[in-house]
Structure 1
Amino acid sequence: MKMSRSAFMVFVLSILLVLSGCFSGQTETSPEPADEKKSGGEQKSGEKKILRLNNNEEPGSLHPGTAQGTHDSWILEHAFEGLTKKTPEGEIVEGIAKDWNVSDDGLTWTFNLRDDAKWSNGDPVTAHDFEFAWKYALNPESASEYAYQLYYLEGGEAYNSSQNKDEYAALEEKVGVKALDDLTLEVKLAEPTPYFLDLTSFYTFYPVNKKVQEANPDWALEAETYVSNGAFKLTEWKHKESMKLEKNENYYDKDKIKLDEVQFVIIDNADTAWQMYQSNELDLVYPLPPDVTGELSGTDDPEFEIAPDLAIYYYNLNNEVKPFNNVKVRKALSMAIDRKSLVEHVTQGGQQPAYGIIPPGIPDVEGDFQENSGDLFKEDAEEAKKLLQEGLAEEDMDQMPEFTLTYNTDEGHKKVAEAIQEMWRKNLDVNVTLENVEFQVKLDREKAGDYQISRGGWVGDYVDPMTFVDLWVTDGSFNDANWSNPEYDKNVKIGKTSMDQKERMEAMHKAEEILIEEMPIIPLYFYTKPFTVKPHVKGIFTPINRYPQFIYADIEK
């Protein structure tokens, strides 16, 4: 069969595109309009620098006030900027705030904003946008899971906890954040907070364009209406398929931003993402499939890196569902797991078995908090069997009923669940059904208490033990285990409010001990960040509590 001339040309062009590696992530030629000639009459083309990544879940929310997961934050951290930001070295530096001062009692902070900060639509970023955003997150009607991070503000908890709509306006007025003028933000705290400055770089503390939000409450749902103030702007969002960020020309520090575009594909299968990386369709992959991590860990592959992480992998036990309401049953399930085998043969990424809830990397009064805590429990299969029988007897149950372990779709989570399923079968003679669901579905079911055991993970929002211990306070937003202990709550309160570092660290050590003694959750291991990145990508950095950051990345031939 003969090929027409036009079809032949299409064929040739498609072959040339493949051979030129147009999906290699290095550069993409972007021709200038034909009527725009360079001096000398020669038409030239510019090269776009495009970074291609995978996001392993569809974002649940890209509104700073309602976002709650790492699949949200990876986008937000590059599309927005708070009062402060973090350098590649982890230092907290000026962001939208050019400077600040704090009162002697540590309660009143005054932030002076830079006058050249703009939103992606050209509007100036003002102190009013920060006041509006923080109060929006605290508004009970916003249903923000992260509103509790704003309880450090005077009146924040009272406003967010109110169930009387008639008093919302009066309570909002009492919240300790106020724009004194366009460029001055006054913040009043309920108690002195040693890590407050670190919090101001976290996404719940980002500003929201007040005019945009008031004109269109759904602005964050689509790229066409999205407005942000960071180094990049969202220009395309094909839901559950892909997203595209482009350099924000209105960003005050745009000269330091080298990338023109960042393209995300949304893939919940790590094996597929890895295959795309191997075929040069992606430039950076995180997370990696466990078997790939295992293979690369024993090599000196320059594209492979294991970065530290301020994060814990654990299982939630629904404490309101029998027999998980029984502490002996909970302890039995935890003690029957071989964590060393899990990290060496399943996850294979240099993870550390967790016998507490605070990961390494957080300073104590002296030394490292996690090292000072040590192992707070031991694995013991025989003791686990004994505890399980005692606990079941206390609940008038002859044997452990079959139960379900729910995890969000991911090959790594599946392998961990399968390994623990076998450990429980072997060591306790119990049967567990595995169930995988989309991440957002898992989150929603946990909030509704519609689960028995679920996979959980937490990346620290700031570098302090409090970012972990306050997860399980009574009625806490992320206390999906539905557990409560007054003594635990008391120690968390001391850790939040004391300005005596020794006192607050001792209180948080005590809180961790109480939690492990009652085991409402099962700690499994402390994360690392194993990822691969192509040699032509420069400038990626990995803060201890963030995904790989590309704000200052560059593409080099």
Structure 2
Amino acid sequence: MSQKKITALFVVLAFVFSFVLAGCGGGQSTTEGEKVITYNLGASPETLDPTMSTGLPEATIQSALFEGLYRYNENKELVPATAEKVEIFEDGTKYTFTIRKDAKWSNGDPVTAHDFEYSWKRLLDKNTAAEYAYQGYYIKNGEEFNLGEASADDVAVKAVDNYTLEVELIAPTPYFLDLTAFANFFPLHQETVEANENWASSPETMIGNGPFKMVSFQPQEKIEMVKNEHYWDAENVKLDKLVMTFVEDANTGLSMFESNQIDIAESVPVKDTKKLIDEGKAIAFPEPACYYYIFNCKKEPFDDPKVRLAFAYAINRQAIVDNITQAGQVPALAFTPFGFPDETPDKDYREVGGDYFKDNDIE
């Protein structure tokens, strides 16, 4: 499998603890009995097309509008979603998914195994130019198709019939089911996608299979979604409407929260973090991510590895998380955070892989 060449040194600062403001603001209901949440996402999505998705803002919205074979429940457990069940063969490379017969698109059309085959091959098609196409390289002949060395028919994802999807991987991949919950592996309504290249930017042409459907989209401003009555698990969708705003400035977001214009904010100003957590207005929770700086390794003095290493040693990560961020972050001495399973699932990759270097500042 080919990998992107990275010509930069990552100086990793801290593994991230995400935190959100959560309250019962005035935005929770617009009419009597209607359940509405207004959520500030903190950034405008670059695309609403799951195939082209690369960022968290995009994935957050797409997870409301679409659903993969599997999903995560409220306990962060991976559970069947559009797939009713899966059979994994002994060698760990072959999967057979059974699609729910009650799964439907937001226009009422049935969701079929063909929709997944189309979507996954679109991700891998070099003409699509999807940045995350390599996520499909786990599939047999996926990389070859993306590089133009094989045809779409050679890619080992096949809709045997409307409700049976067969997938063969190049090697056992313990986290493959997790990938099926990832935005790039969501199904697509082929007729809609092929009829309009801008299909994902308009409520009239956005057809998804998730718990919500788009009714309004104002780029750089907000998106409004309502409950999808055709969703197979609609009876367990508690909200009638979900509004996501794209206010990037954390201070503005906090002001909107305090004035009841929004119910939830994705992030808060660093200077207010500890106070808001202590007051019970902000909630911190672990997120498998990290903050880091990237040097331009082609310019002096950062073309010298020793200079880059000196900067890495000079940063007091412990002081940053103790005195500045103050939301439970953990100093990071490697790029991959804690929380990812190793090749042996019961072991953490970070603990097995060790650190890039030792830091005397870390307690």
1:238 matched to which residue of 2? 218
Instruction: Say whether 1:357 aligns with 2:350.
Output: no
Q: Secondary structure at the match of 1:141?
A: coil
> Alpha carbons of 1:131 and 1:305: their partners in 2 closer, same or farther (altered >3 Å)?
same
Q: Find the aligned partners of 1:250 and 1:320 in 2 and give their Cα distance.
A: 54
Aligned pair partner of 2:143 in 120, 143, 157: 157
State the Cα distance separating 1:214 from its structure 2 match: 1.6
Q: Which runs of 5+ in 1 are unaligned?
A: 1-21, 30-45, 382-523, 525-557
Contact map agreement 1:53 1:283 (CA 8 A) in 2: yes
State the Cα distance separating 1:172 from its structure 2 match: 1.4
1:264 matched to which residue of 2? 244
Aligned pair partner of 2:313 in 330, 335, 338: 335
Aligned pair partner of 1:211 in 182, 191, 201: 191
> Alpha carbons of 1:302 and 1:60: their partners in 2 closer, same or farther (altered >3 Å)?
same
State the Cα distance separating 1:125 from its structure 2 match: 0.6
State the Cα distance separating 1:224 from its structure 2 match: 2.7
Aligned pair partner of 2:123 in 137, 159, 162: 137
2:21 matched to which residue of 1? none
1:478 matched to which residue of 2? none
1:104 matched to which residue of 2? 90
Q: Find the aligned partners of 2:153 and 2:307 in 1 and give their Cα distance.
A: 47
Instruction: Say whether 1:117 aligns with 2:97.
Output: no
Aligned pair partner of 2:66 in 66, 74, 80: 80
Aligned pair partner of 2:266 in 272, 283, 286: 286
Query: By percentage of residues, which structure has more helix?
Result: 1
State the TM-score, normalizing by the size of structure 1: 0.58
> Alpha carbons of 1:375 and 1:109: their partners in 2 closer, same or farther (altered >3 Å)?
closer
Aligned alpha-carbon RMSD (Å): 2.1
Which amino acid counterpart does residue 248 of structure 2 have in structure 1? D
> Alpha carbons of 1:152 and 1:374: their partners in 2 closer, same or farther (altered >3 Å)?
closer
Q: Find the aligned partners of 1:104 and 1:368 in 2 and give their Cα distance.
A: 24
Contact map agreement 1:25 1:280 (CA 8 A) in 2: yes
Instruction: Say whether 1:58 aligns with 2:44.
Output: yes
Deviations 1:31-52 (A, max 9, x none): xxxxxxxxxxxxxxx5211100
Q: Find the aligned partners of 2:359 and 2:175 in 1 and give their Cα distance.
A: 35
Which amino acid counterpart does residue 234 of structure 1 have in structure 2? M
1:173 matched to which residue of 2? 153
Q: Quick check: 316-325 or 221-230, which moved more? A: 316-325
* Matched-pair identity in %: 41
State the Cα distance separating 1:25 from its structure 2 match: 2.1
Q: Find the aligned partners of 1:65 and 1:367 in 2 and give their Cα distance.
A: 31
State the Cα distance separating 1:145 from its structure 2 match: 1.1
Instruction: Say whether 1:26 aligns with 2:28.
Output: yes
State the Cα distance separating 1:345 from its structure 2 match: 2.5
Question: Which aligned pairs between 1:317-328 and structure 2 lie closer than 5 A?
Answer: 317-328=295-306
Deviations 1:265-309 (A, max 9, x none): 211100000111011111111111111112234x2x333211111
Q: Secondary structure at the match of 2:338?
A: coil
2:182 matched to which residue of 1? 202
Q: Secondary structure at the match of 2:223?
A: strand
Greater length-normalized contact order (CA 8 Å, ≥ 6 residues apart): 2
Q: Which runs of 5+ in 2 are unaligned?
A: 1-23
Q: Secondary structure at the match of 1:224?
A: coil
Select the structure of larger CA radius of gyration: 1
Q: Find the aligned partners of 2:297 and 2:127 in 1 and give their Cα distance.
A: 28
Q: Find the aligned partners of 2:120 and 2:145 in 1 and give their Cα distance.
A: 12
State the Cα distance separating 1:209 from its structure 2 match: 0.5
Report how many aligned residue pairs link the two structures.
Answer: 337
State the Cα distance separating 1:372 from its structure 2 match: 4.9
Which amino acid counterpart does residue 254 of structure 2 have in structure 1? W
1:229 matched to which residue of 2? 209
Contact map agreement 1:176 1:187 (CA 8 A) in 2: yes
State the Cα distance separating 1:346 from its structure 2 match: 2.3
Instruction: Say whether 1:377 aligns with 2:363.
Output: no
> Alpha carbons of 1:318 and 1:160: their partners in 2 closer, same or farther (altered >3 Å)?
farther
Q: Find the aligned partners of 1:380 and 1:132 in 2 and give their Cα distance.
A: 52
State the Cα distance separating 1:371 from its structure 2 match: 4.2
> Alpha carbons of 1:141 and 1:324: their partners in 2 closer, same or farther (altered >3 Å)?
farther
Q: Secondary structure at the match of 2:26?
A: coil
Instruction: Say whether 1:345 aligns with 2:323.
Output: yes
